[in-house]
Amino acid sequence: MITFKSKAAQDLDVLKDFAVYVLGLVGKQLGERGVITHDELDHAIAKLEGAVAQAKQARAEHAGHFHEDEHDHAHHEVPPSLAQRVAPFLAMLREAKAGEADVHWGF
């Protein structure tokens, strides 16, 4: 587990694999310790929002190829969207920006 902390938001605990993934989206790497500074938050938020928009577009295009009412189409569970998975982290970044605080991890 990795814990993200900010003076302006509640702590956020995530699995290590997710931390690696979401930090990669914003141009950071998971190390023993790290920070997204207040000055970097606009860029990080924009990168995440862009990734979510691209994922929504890809998901919509993919969904158009399947029809649940087809008899030969096996029912499958739809995994959580990127928007759902990054929502808590994105909320933390926005709260940190509003509170003019950094986001740290590795404590």
Average pLDDT, the chain: 87
How far apart CA 33 and CA 76 sit, in angstroms, is: 39
What is the per-residue pLDDT across 12-47, written as a single tens digit (0 to 9) for each?
Answer: 999 999 999 999 999 999 988 999 999 999 999 999
Over 70: is that where the pLDDT of 71 sits?
A: no
User: What does the pLDDT average to over 78-86?
Assistant: 83
Kindly state the average pLDDT of the residues 86-103: 97
Residue 81 falls in which region: left (phi positive, over 0), alpha (psi -120 to 50) or beta? beta
Asked if residue 98 has pLDDT above 90, the reply is yes
pTM of the prediction?
Answer: 0.81
